Amino acid sequence: MVEEMEDDQRRAVLAAMPEQDRAAIESSLGYEEDTAGRLMQREVMAAPEFWSVGDTIDHLRAQGEDLPELFFDIYVVDPQYRPVGGVAVSRLLRSAREVKLSALMEPVNEIEVHQDQEEVAYIFEKYHLISAPVVDVGGRLVGQITVDDIVNIIQEENREDILRLAGVSDEGRDASVMGVVRSRIPWLIINLGTAVAASLVIGAFAEEIEALVALAILMPIVASIGGNAGVQAMTVAVRSLAARELSAANAVRIVRREVVVGFLNGAAIAVLLAAIAAVWFGMPMLSLVIGLAVTINLVAAALAGALIPMILERLDRDPAVASPVFVTWITDTVGFFTFLGLAGLILL
């Protein structure tokens, strides 16, 4: 709540707080937004390596209300207060009192205080964590993050990715009209440019379209199917990049798979569309043209959908925001060019 307040409100609220609470909040606000330092809980249960299970349980009981409100692990620390392992509370309670914590502890996944919250969420998902210690630049234990802190982050990041795929931001109900316009219009302008570029391809085949009206009727079908196939491949690629499942090590395999899927889907759709065109217009060669065009466009859509997000990621651009515009442009351009070009070669 404090970080959402205006500066004057924040100062007034902090001034009215107890000194200990104020110091904790001010320290938290000292970290950048969307980092582990801003997200972490400062209350944490730590114990030295030489303590036994009995020592730890006695300490927990003695602390009473001063214990953290929620904790799943007891972090074992060295004399410099750096975590060297962790003991789950459930394992602690099942162990004999004389057993040393050093004998029970297991390695822990440390979170650096300046790590981005999206990276933290990825670590929790990858290693199926319930909690993790947060350390400062010197490796000292300064807090913890628990799974209930991460659930909201995962939902928030997924929501942002979905909105970015549409080229919009999470404007909220209180956003101003001009603010919404400024966030959306740049991508609409870029989309206008790509649409004009695709229209220039159509214009280059004006004579072919004028000679055979069926081309104008069937042309949008080729582009539309290619666009949908491109969005499918692009969505899979963006999700894989966000989940760190797509990297340079497996990029070739992923792209190859998408191309094969695009070809097989294109061949299946080509058969259906060729049959429809044959019944509709009674021109077997027109069926051949549209079948070939659809197959080629779906292969191009698969390539574009898989490669463009990876290229944008390599260029340090958000693939969820920019990919849809470029994928649509490529599928429209390739669809129009292949269909009208093949029609000019084969039919006219």
pLDDT at 188: 79
CATH class of 177-346: mainly alpha
Mean pLDDT by 10 residues, the chain (348 residues): 82 87 80 88 92 95 86 94 95 95 95 92 89 94 90 75 62 66 78 87 88 89 92 88 80 92 95 92 92 95 93 84 87 93 89
Between CA 60 and CA 296 the distance in angstroms is 68
Please provide residue 20's backbone torsions phi and psi, each rounded to the nearest 5 degrees. -65, -45
pLDDT at 179: 73
Tokens of 112: 């650096």
Q: Which amino acid is at 32?
A: E
Cβ pair 25, 2 in contact under 8 A: yes
pLDDT at 174: 59
Cβ pair 37, 134 in contact under 8 A: yes
3-state secondary structure of 34: coil
Burial (CB count within 10 angstroms: exposed 0-12, middle 13-18, buried 19+), residue 120: buried
pLDDT at 91: 95
The domain limits of the chain are 31-165, 177-346
Predicted model pTM: 0.69
3-state secondary structure of 131: strand
pLDDT at 165: 63
pLDDT at 139: 94
pLDDT at 58: 94
User: Which CATH superfamily hosts domain 31-165?
Assistant: CBS-domain (3.10.580.10)
pLDDT at 164: 65
pLDDT at 167: 59
How many residues make up the chain in this entry?
348
Q: Maximum distance among all alpha carbons in the chain?
A: 93
Residue carrying structure tokens 């938290």: 28
pLDDT at 22: 84
